[in-house]
Amino acid sequence: MFKKIKAIWELTRLEHGIIYALGVLLSLIIAYKRLPGWEITVAGMLGAILAEMGAFALNDYFDVEVDKLNNRVDRPIIRGDISKSEAMLIFIVTSLLSLVFISYLGWGAVIVVIFLIVFSALYNYKLKEYGIWGNIFISFTMASPFLFGSVLFASSGVLIVLSIIAFLIGLGREIMKGIMDVKGDALRDVKTVARTMGETKAKYIAVILYVAGGILTPIPYLFKLNDTAFYHDPIYAVFAFAADVVLCYVCYSLLRSHDIKTIGRMRKVTLIGMVLALAAFFFGALF
């Protein structure tokens, strides 16, 4: 039983779903300028988690041959812990449940999530073969929780800044993934930045994106925008600075090493930076 649960976690990359859920929570807190009601909070967070689970399950469903070539034994389908049919079933069930929970936030929210589910399916089936455009879509989904809150609940300059940061960091991570999967991507002729421009240039582009994301983090602290909660807030400053330190470490490591293992490790480290950035906005909004 535990083995199956672990396999489902790995298939759906549930840690990403938790980050998406925190993004929705943060978006709601900034929009409402307080903790919203528990019904809206739980519905929004569960909807985000379930939508993310379905997207990654479908990703592994379509990527079986690529993952075999790349010897991705970290993928449960490749190890035989989950079948392709089970992965498809998980996609269908989690996507439908996501819509059920998101419906508590209104029809506007449902339309946004339907759009994301449909384009996620298109991405996994075909769009990812177009390289950078697929990367852009995935990065957009990472920014979507914050755009979601800005559009549906409040016109927030802080949420717009946060969504841009999430987009830039997400795009950098996707380009790094392309470097790691060059051999497998050749099987499907996926035109990633790494395959079309070379792995070295792809690495430098990822660094530029991380630097750009880091440069934006001081904006809510330095400028009032239309939300003064973060203006000259020391709590926000501490966590934002910590996030930037992590990004600087990632950039430094990428610039001094061409090793694929280093690139894979640094891609995971960027998740720490993302969590710290979320913490900066979360605590800045509440305190």
φ/ψ region of 145 (left if φ > 0, alpha if ψ in -120 to 50, else beta) reads alpha
Helices (H), the chain: 2-12, 14-32, 38-62, 64-69, 76-79, 84-102, 107-125, 132-152, 157-180, 182-187, 193-197, 199-216, 219-222, 234-256, 260-286
- In angstroms, rounded to a whole number, what is the distance separating the alpha carbons of residues 180 and 261? 8
pLDDT of residue 103: 87
Nearest CA to 240 out of 255, 254, 219, 258 is that of 219
* Residue 154 and residue 186 share a domain: yes
Say whether both 107 and 135 belong to one domain: no
At residue 150, the pLDDT reads 63
Low-confidence ranges of the chain (pLDDT < 50): none
Do residue 97 and residue 182 come from a single domain? Answer: no
Cα–Cα distance for residue pair 12/168, rounded to 1 Å: 23
Output the pLDDT for position 151: 61
Shared domain check, 145 and 17: no
Tell me the C-alpha distance between 237 and 251, whole Å: 21
Distance from the Cα of residue 52 to its chain's centroid:
9
Buried b / exposed e across 88-104, counting CB within 10 Å, b at 16+? Answer: eebbeebbebbbebbee
Q: Are residues 141 and 275 in the same domain?
A: yes
Q: pLDDT at position 133, please? A: 80
Q: Are 267 and 180 in contact (CB under 8 A)?
A: yes
pTM here is: 0.82
Is residue 284 domain-shared with residue 165, that is, in the same domain? yes
- Last residue in a domain, options 125, 155, 176: 125
Q: Are residues 173 and 259 in the same domain?
A: yes
The per-residue pLDDT for 182 is: 83
User: Number of structural domains, the chain?
Assistant: 2
| pLDDT tens figures, 22-53 | 888 888 888 777 777 788 889 888 998 999 89
| 168 and 98 in a common domain | no
Domain end residue (candidates: 70, 103, 125): 125
**Which of 103, 125, 147 is the endpoint of a domain?**
125
Q: Based on the domain organization, do 111 and 236 belong to the same domain?
A: no
**Do residues 120 and 139 share a domain?**
no
User: Both 150 and 168 in a single domain?
Assistant: yes
Domain range enclosing 39: 1-125
- CB-CB neighbours of 4 under 10 Å: 12
Distance between CA atoms of residues 217 and 63, nearest Å? 35
Q: Which tokens sit at 25?
A: 């929570």
Q: Which residue has the tokens 């330190």?
A: 245
Same domain, 106 and 134: no
